[in-house]
Amino acid sequence: MEWITLILTVSIVIISFNLLFGKSHPNAPPCIRGWIPWFGAAFEFGKAPLHFIQQARDKYGPVFTVVAAGKRLTFVTLNEDFRAFFTSKDVDFEQAVQEAVHNTASINKDCFYKTHPTCATIIKGRLTPGNTAMLSVHLCEEFNDHLENLGSKGTGQLNEIIKSVMYPAVMSNLLGRCNSPSNSLTRQEFLEKFTTYDEGFEYGSQLPDLFLKQWANSKRWLLSLLRNMAIRAQETLYNENDGKTLLQHLASTISDKYLPNYGLLLLWASLANAIPITFWAIAFILANPEAYKIAMDQINVALRDQDKEKTRVTLDDLQHMPYVKWCIMEAIRLRAPGAITRKVVRPLKLRNYVIPPGDLLMLSPYWAHRNPKYFPDPEDFKPERWEMADLEKNVHLEGFVAFGGGKNQCPGRWYAVMELHMFVALILYKFEFTPLDPIPKPSPLHLVGTQQPDGPCRVRYKHK
């Protein structure tokens, strides 16, 4: 169901928007030259918010405000302003996302403000490059096991094939083997519930459960699942040493009733973006014969004719496949989140504007990555552009903001790139794929998270 339909259902109708342009005194509220009651704009914003951002920027300039569902969303679109977005003391990340966290994970405001900084520190500490190396051996084993479950050949949606492998493997790696779906029936039930939760996450972050019954049921099911996982994590907490899972590390800090809720957020964060990016990376590689040849040449040399069932991929092996990593980074660039947000807590001066407290400050990585100043031929899939970055030192291309910035930069970014790099190398090494559909376009409906495919992408596969 489209966002605008949901909003209309509960009579939260976008009835107008205003645009900020012209000069303002540094201590004055924004100069508003136009307050335009235009339902057409509201409809377009609701129908295709991702496209609306660029259209509004082209028409009204680099800073503009949309009033939607009673909230002022002020978009900044110039790279020169991104530093203020990520580092200014006049904006706040936790206040921007608190309501969404409450709606999607049922964590109240006081608990979130109290525990989020500690949780973020734990996740960042446990998913450093050094600790990621320790996780990689087990993750490779899990990928191998679940890839073998695909059988010798078959046909299916590429996205669903990836989900069937990555969901249980990553859950086992971060939450513990005992917490990974153990058979095909439980995997299928989890897949259905989590897919419903993930696909409705953006709507659920804004609307009461009353209007999203199926999504709310999936949320409750997942919270119940996480409660059982949390109990197991706490029961084994002191029986583990260096092998503690990320969930167990959280359990040692969050001992109250909200541990399952944070576990749900961790689960969503670790799966929701990784799956579609893996899909796009593989789809782009399969659709570009030259990219596929270069990637496979590096994969075959690095893995040196290993066993196709129990393939061992080390971090050293991954360093010998730089082009595969470039393909992944290019997929991230092209399909980055539609918008990320901060809340303005004190008057914020940007260029000729003063953004008032209370506004949600919005930045679109999706459109930032289409700035030809930083990314020539921005719509083209060009993995070779990443040769200019120093990815081994986690130095990205200028203008790349998919992982955010400042103190709230994605704490799991090293793990995410490692898991994608390993999975893409493994599945291409083990299987031959024949695309049956062209690459779908990204859906224009969502602002939260990685862009989802807007159409089918079937493949025929065969185990090598």
Which parts are annotated binding residues for heme? 410
**375 CB burial (10 A radius; 0-12, 13-18, 19+):** buried
CA atoms of 250 and 245, how far apart (whole Å): 9
* Closest to 32 (Cα-Cα) out of 65, 76, 8: 65
Length of the chain (residues): 464
As annotated, the binding site for substrate includes: 273
As annotated, the binding site includes: 273, 410
Cβ(343)–Cβ(454) below 8 Å:
no
| Cα Rg of the chain, angstroms | 22
Q: Tokens 């090293």 belong to which residue?
A: 414
CA atoms of 317 and 323, how far apart (whole Å): 12
Cβ(85)–Cβ(342) below 8 Å:
yes
In sequence order, the β-bridge partners of residue 72 are 67
Task: Say which amino acid occupies 25.
Answer: H
Tokens standing for residue 353: 């504007």
Cβ(272)–Cβ(163) below 8 Å:
no
Tell me the DSSP string of 250-279.
HHTT--STTHHHHHHHHHHHHHTTHHHHHH
CA atoms of 71 and 12, how far apart (whole Å): 11
Task: Say which amino acid occupies 189.
Answer: E
For residue 133, what are the CA distances in angstroms to 95, 128, 281, 314, 409?
A: 34, 9, 22, 9, 20
Cβ(324)–Cβ(298) below 8 Å:
yes
Sign, CA torsion 386/389/390/392: negative
